Structure 1
Amino acid sequence: MREIRIGKNEENQRIDKFLRKYMAKASLGFIYKMIRKKSIKVNGNKIDNDYILKYGDAIQLYLKEDTIESFIENREVRKIKRTFQIVYEDDYLLLVNKPYGLLVHGDSQEKKNTLINQVTGYLYAKGEYDPKSEKTFVPASVNRLDRNTSGIVIIGKNYETVQNLNQMIREKHHIRKFYLTVVKGQVKSCGELKGYLLKDERGNKVKIAEKEENGKDIHTMYRPLKTNKDYSLLEVEIITGRTHQIRLHLSAIGHPIVGDPKYGDKSINQVMKKKFGLENQFLHAYRISFEKCMGNLKYLEGKTFEAPLPQRLKEIEQSLFSER
């Protein structure tokens, strides 16, 4: 029998979710079966799958030790060169400026050099995170950027912070997220875009529907900062944060982002590649504003943080909008 004591980084989550992280190689069906058969208890008592763990709870696993060990993934901190910049940091969270070309989380092609792995390595070196002393917690991002979108990513350093950040993001306008982008054509006035996002399995894309039709609502605001007859520099605020939302919404109104290989204009993309070497979307998450904060993050209320355009995008902006 193994006993697990619940600490601050494990409390306030369902036991089935905790156990799926603790025994990552075990199926959810197996975990449910063990709970049902009373092979997993809390404080010596039978519990349901949705039991919410409390600080100080003791989980008893009435399983063979080698069985438990076979289900646990070896978590180690990888030594990777740090390529992100720090925008802001305190005891609870980290705001980083992610460069383009870096995945936030791993995929089938890249599992090692990711933003999260770089962050855990950074925090490990500072003595703020050690996987050997944590039962399940890993520093986590609460907003995601595409591989080739640069800008601010919010990282929670402990479970309470991650919970509060996730709740603040779910509550619209608690955390406001702004982007800078250059699009095709002249945009003369501010705009508001709404619709529903549907997955399009062909080419790993998404598309917009005017009616819900099993899609997720998307809401985007934009305002022009600079414009000429060919291009416009926009500030974009996302009210919802869906996959490819900005890229798709702007393309749908005839103003695709320059350099965007999925939703962009091929002829303009060729010009951008030839003239500037740009092979990805001109999109940068440049500002985060904490409007209303919860729990241990109340001190952030009213604060705004910015990450300037990367030099390569700044040079493109200056060239496109210089006086002719």
Structure 2
Amino acid sequence: MSKVQFVTIDADQAGQRIDNFLITFLKGVPKSRIYRILRKGEVRVNKKRVKPVYKIQAGDQVRVPPVEVSQSSEAPININLDKVQQLESQIIYESDHVIVINKPSGIAVHGGSGLSFGVIEALRQLRPEARYLELVHRLDRDTSGCLLIAKKRSALRYLHEQLRDKKLYKEYVALAVGRWPKSTQRVDAPLLKNTLKSGERIVKVDEAGKPSITDFKIERKYDGFTLVQAVPVTGRTHQIRVHAQFAGCPLVGDPKYGNSDIDRELNESFGFNRLFLHARKLKFREQRDSKPLVVSAEFDEPIEQLMKSLNNEAI
């Protein structure tokens, strides 16, 4: 940014701290730089200096000084344009408030940890005119299905409120190895997250972990596999995958918690080489006065083909 900008705060932006507003407004600028320009008084609200904790109000005029964006923080120039364009076709619902995308397996929801870009960066490339696009929740890189993105800050606040109050319904479907025990309809097991020296995250059932609950329901039995519905009551990292492993039926295609021998057989026999965990359905309200909205995401071709192959072995 090469010149001073004056931004008039609207109702949707109001209520947040000035530092958080600048972090969003000046994407790519290090937080240390943002706090420095606040500390030096280069940022003014209604011509006055403010502290980082100041909450901006509708009608406030914010002076944003020229700030250089570091090259490493800008959108990567080697972004895969083909994948970006493919994401456009994966949008299954859009309104003035939200976007729901059927996220493909193998694409991260955001860049980082050695990844040049993710879904949110790609959407910002697709929609440069969009003033605000933020993830409402996350999916593991290898998980496919419904991913919810807010287009307004007010929408993000309300959707996060629904998440906290457990009023945002998320339903997954997964293929588990073996016969899922009929007696296991709910797994209530605390999860502890560890980060290895390599940076890899590993989660395990541990009494020292955070309370974690997943509800499971058998949908169909196959010879050696069970198709299950999984509804997470809590939202921990790798929760469904670890709880399935804890129940004695790890998920097909899970490189961290699965059965590598069976996964190798499925790859050799059917060419299936991805995690079979799909976020099938979301149910939420876009606004407080709106009716509940249900959005569903179809399976991708690899899952469809595997299901057809397994159907012949169904019992």
| Common topology (TM > 0.5) | yes
Structure 1 regions of 5+ residues with no counterpart?
A: none
Matched position secondary structure for 1:273: helix
Q: Contact 1:24 / 1:71 at 8 angstroms: preserved in 2?
A: no
Q: Contact 1:197 / 1:217 at 8 angstroms: preserved in 2?
A: no
Mapped to 1, the partners of 2:60 and 2:93 lie a distance apart of 34
Mapped to 2, the partners of 1:19 and 1:13 lie a distance apart of 10
Q: Deviations over 1:119-157 (max 9, x none)?
A: 3344x3xxxx516xx4xx3x1221222222110111112
Partner of 1:310: 300
Q: TM-score, normalised by structure 1?
A: 0.81
Among candidates 94, 102, 109, match of residue 99 of structure 2: 94
Q: Are residues 1:40 and 2:5 paired?
A: no
Q: Contact 1:223 / 1:236 at 8 angstroms: preserved in 2?
A: yes
Q: Contact 1:3 / 1:60 at 8 angstroms: preserved in 2?
A: yes
In the TM superposition, residue 20 of structure 1 has moved relative to its aligned partner by 2.5
Matched position secondary structure for 2:54: coil
Amino acid at match of 2:170: K
Change (3 A) 1:19 1:185: same
Q: Contact 1:227 / 1:321 at 8 angstroms: preserved in 2?
A: no
Q: Are residues 1:194 and 2:189 paired?
A: yes
Mapped to 2, the partners of 1:87 and 1:70 lie a distance apart of 34
Matched position secondary structure for 1:235: strand
Matched position secondary structure for 1:299: coil
Matched position secondary structure for 2:163: helix
Aligned residues: 302
Partner of 1:211: 207
Change (3 A) 1:151 1:24: closer
Q: Contact 1:259 / 1:273 at 8 angstroms: preserved in 2?
A: no
Q: Deviations over 1:143-185 (max 9, x none)?
A: 222222110111112222122222222222x111111111111
Moved more, 274-283 or 178-187: 274-283
Q: TM-score, normalised by structure 2?
A: 0.83
Q: Deviations over 1:177-212 (max 9, x none)?
A: 111111111114222333133224156132234334
Matched position secondary structure for 1:320: helix
TM alignment of 1:1-324, pairs within 5 A: 2-24=5-27, 26-61=29-64, 65=66, 68-69=67-68, 80-83=84-87, 84-112=89-117, 114-122=118-126, 124=127, 130=129, 134=131, 137=132, 139-172=133-166, 174-189=167-182, 190-201=185-196, 204-212=200-208, 215-228=209-222, 230-290=224-284, 293=285, 296=287, 298-301=289-292, 303-322=293-312, 323=314
Mapped to 1, the partners of 2:29 and 2:277 lie a distance apart of 39
Matched position secondary structure for 2:48: coil
Change (3 A) 1:239 1:76: same
Task: State percent identity of aligned pairs.
Answer: 27
Change (3 A) 1:9 1:243: same
Matched position secondary structure for 2:310: helix
CA RMSD of aligned residues (A): 2.9
Mapped to 2, the partners of 1:176 and 1:253 lie a distance apart of 23
Amino acid at match of 1:298: D
Q: Contact 1:176 / 1:289 at 8 angstroms: preserved in 2?
A: yes
Q: Contact 2:106 / 2:141 at 8 angstroms: preserved in 1?
A: yes
Change (3 A) 1:288 1:70: closer
In the TM superposition, residue 75 of structure 1 has moved relative to its aligned partner by 6.5
Q: Contact 2:168 / 2:282 at 8 angstroms: preserved in 1?
A: yes
Matched position secondary structure for 1:21: helix
Amino acid at match of 1:93: V
Q: Contact 1:206 / 1:248 at 8 angstroms: preserved in 2?
A: no
Amino acid at match of 2:298: P
Q: Contact 2:171 / 2:231 at 8 angstroms: preserved in 1?
A: yes
In the TM superposition, residue 297 of structure 1 has moved relative to its aligned partner by 5.0
Q: Contact 2:266 / 2:272 at 8 angstroms: preserved in 1?
A: yes
Amino acid at match of 2:6: E
Amino acid at match of 1:211: E
Mapped to 1, the partners of 2:153 and 2:76 lie a distance apart of 19
Structure 2 regions of 5+ residues with no counterpart?
A: none
Amino acid at match of 1:199: N
